[in-house]
Structure 1
Amino acid sequence: MAGGLFALLDDVAALARMAAASIDDVGAAAGRATTKAAGVVVDDTAVTPQFVHGVTADRELPMIKRITIGSLRNKLLIILPVALLLSQFLPGLLTPILMVGGGYLCYEGAEKIWVRLRGHDHHPVPVGAEGEDAEKAMTSAAIRTDLILSAEIMVIALNEVTDEPFLSRLLILVVVAIAITIAVYGVVAIIVKLDDIGLALTQRSTGFLGRVGHALLVGTPRLLAVISVVGVAAMLWVGGHIELVGLDELGWHAPYDFVHDVEHHVHHALEDVAGWLAATLGWLTNTLLSAAFGLLVGALLVAVVSVLPKRSGAH
């Protein structure tokens, strides 16, 4: 009996090792998939604070909590089942769907630049001044925007793990969905409360902490401005790269090959001088050219949308 017990324990230990290895594989794959979606994550992080602009301090975190729950619902209950079904039965549609999302990112980035160039950038009336209905409307708008960005994140992640078995894909995407949602809205919560933290420090301390509080009060609006610019750049970069790769996979290789060749030439020219510099400038070249292509695609989409007939009653 003792021998049988030890054999059983050995089997359990072996299964535990296999499970641990599988968890490690899922974690590693989820990490790779999350890295590929980093640009959209930056955009998501940059966009969300705009929805709580003007909200009273006591309502900021409750709004972010509701948006976070809505984001998880978007990813786990809507996007994940659809994405898994497509990857299982119609994998050929993933690239076109990814390109549609990439086109949306290009359009959003180019449209934001166009609005700023025309000087029509507007600041909405603070939600806190409009009541509970306005807060609910802004929360719903944030969740709708998150649906689009989350779909892009999940499809990018899925595109990285299409060769994995179905169960592994499911687990990886669940990990990606939860990890990215917590990361994005955790950072958003910190960002929107920085000025409150700064105000509290200036009121309670006159020494070093008081100076830190003053720096937070002065620096938070600038940080939000920088995040906004980074968000636009991320949209164009990620959207442009998605379009380049998608066109290459669909058979039009020239744009992707051009970007890749320029990146290779830059890397090769500096490789003998400084390897790290060559790699960095090569990546930067690819990023800038992808963003430029994204801006071109976005500008074309903005031009098309601008000539479409407006819906009656649109403002």
Structure 2
Amino acid sequence: MPGGLVALLDDVSVIARTAAASVDDIGVAASRAGSKAAGVVIDDAAVTPGYVTGLKPARELPIIWNITKGSLKNKLLILLPGALLLSWLLPAAIVFVLMAGGCYLAFEGAEKVMEKLGGEKHGKTLEDEIEDPVAFEKARTNGAIRTDLILSAEIMAITLNEVAAETLLTRAVVLAVVGIAITFVVYGAVALIVKMDDVGLYLAEKSSAAAQATGRFLLKAMPWLLKILSFVGTIAMLWVGGGIILHGLHELGFYGPSDTAHSIEHAVEVATGGMGGVLGWATYAAISALVGLAVGFVIAQIVHRLPTKSGRAAH
């Protein structure tokens, strides 16, 4: 697993274990569930900076805090009770919820790939003149919270699937721990990212040559960091979405796609010796990403041809 992923998951796991230190099984379950949600976490961290990019610097942190509060409400007041009811009344439906989320991630990832290859762009931009900054800020905050609701639903579904065999109380605590931990990890990282240019500008104006050099480096690195985050977020969506789809098909009795992917993974592990573990994992992740891309492309073609109130299909 790439170093960046490991560092992010370690943060989530440490927070989860600390919150549940007195109950070992809850700590272990929270760590396992947080790791499974890695791809969605990366996508969330990659998507969110776009909602504050281009707005006044003084409003960036307040907006992120508003989105953070909205995310906590999504997870704790809407999704957590819903997930517990689902696991209690209709546990067999969890796999279908996961697959629906996997298809959504695949669709989002495929759409981004299509846009990069010259396809039509979808979603709001900052290119138009902002006539009412307050209304615009509110609209973007609400948009971010809606996006978070979808991504959070997938995180909670992945978490619930990992602890489905635990008691109702354990499931509730694990869902809460993972939800809170991931929210603060993601939006804490987002806050650091969006303020990097301000820190760089502050250091660049200092008298120290070392501070100026550091400031200039941060200013130059910011655009590249956002591009890297966007790229990693896209790959994560395709990889996680495709992996969920493969696993879901296997759970539903369609063993061929998953067994084929695991056979190729095993063949790579055997052929590459000491690096087999890493390369085998990378092979399965790549196959999952290709599956996600294929499924997402099909869904995107269908969605973009559906009539909508905005008239998107007419373009």
Name the CA shift for 1:231/1:69 in 2 (closer, same or farther; >3 Å): same
Larger helix proportion, structure 1 or 2?
Answer: 1
- How high is the sequence identity, in percent, across the aligned residues? 53
Name the CA shift for 1:128/1:194 in 2 (closer, same or farther; >3 Å): farther
1:134 equivalenced with 2:132 (yes/no):
no
CA-to-partner distance for each residue in 1:280-304, whole Å, 9 max, x for gaps?
0000000000000000000110111
Name the CA shift for 1:31/1:126 in 2 (closer, same or farther; >3 Å): farther
CA-to-partner distance for each residue in 1:83-118, whole Å, 9 max, x for gaps?
011111100000001100100000000011112212
Q: What's the secondary structure of 2:208's corresponding residue?
A: coil
TM-superposed deviation, 1:126: 7.6
1:47 equivalenced with 2:47 (yes/no):
yes
Select 2:288's aligned residue among 285, 290, 309: 290
CA distance in 2, matches of 1:39, 1:233: 9
1:144 equivalenced with 2:146 (yes/no):
yes
User: What residue in structure 2 maps to residue 6 of structure 1?
Assistant: none
CA distance in 1, matches of 2:131, 2:248: 45
User: What residue in structure 1 maps to residue 102 of structure 2?
Assistant: 102
1:228 equivalenced with 2:226 (yes/no):
no
The Cα RMSD (Å) is 1.7
CA-to-partner distance for each residue in 1:5-39, whole Å, 9 max, x for gaps?
xxxxxxxxxxxxxxx87523212210110000000
CA distance in 1, matches of 2:129, 2:153: 27
2:250 maps to a residue whose letter is D
Structure 2 residue ranges without an equivalent (≥5): 1-19
Name the CA shift for 1:312/1:206 in 2 (closer, same or farther; >3 Å): closer
User: What residue in structure 1 maps to residue 211 of structure 2?
Assistant: 209
Question: Are the counterparts in 2 of residues 108 and 235 from structure 1 also a CA contact under 8 Å?
Answer: yes
The correspondence of residues 1-315 of structure 1 with structure 2, limited to 5 A, is 22-118=22-118, 120-121=120-121, 123-125=125-127, 130-271=132-273, 274=274, 277-311=275-309, 313-314=311-312
CA distance in 2, matches of 1:125, 1:27: 46
Structure 1 residue ranges without an equivalent (≥5): 1-19
CA distance in 1, matches of 2:129, 2:170: 42
TM-superposed deviation, 1:120: 4.3
Question: Are the counterparts in 2 of residues 46 and 228 from structure 1 also a CA contact under 8 Å?
Answer: yes
Q: What's the secondary structure of 1:208's corresponding residue?
A: helix
Task: Give the aligned length.
Answer: 292
TM-superposed deviation, 1:313: 4.9
CA distance in 2, matches of 1:189, 1:154: 23
TM-superposed deviation, 1:127: 8.7
Question: Are the counterparts in 2 of residues 105 and 235 from structure 1 also a CA contact under 8 Å?
Answer: yes
TM-score (ref. length: structure 1):
0.89
CA distance in 1, matches of 2:131, 2:230: 24
Bigger drift between 305-314 and 60-69 goes to: 305-314
TM-superposed deviation, 1:250: 0.5
2:62 maps to a residue whose letter is P
Question: Are the counterparts in 1 of residues 21 and 27 from structure 2 also a CA contact under 8 Å?
Answer: no
CA distance in 2, matches of 1:266, 1:130: 56
Question: Are the counterparts in 2 of residues 33 and 160 from structure 1 also a CA contact under 8 Å?
Answer: yes
CA distance in 2, matches of 1:60, 1:254: 48
CA distance in 2, matches of 1:236, 1:312: 27
CA distance in 1, matches of 2:132, 2:206: 31
CA distance in 1, matches of 2:157, 2:53: 29
TM-superposed deviation, 1:224: 0.3
1:39 maps to a residue whose letter is G
Larger radius of gyration: 1
TM-superposed deviation, 1:152: 0.2
CA-to-partner distance for each residue in 1:120-155, whole Å, 9 max, x for gaps?
458423897741000000000000000000000010
Name the CA shift for 1:296/1:185 in 2 (closer, same or farther; >3 Å): same
CA distance in 2, matches of 1:186, 1:229: 20
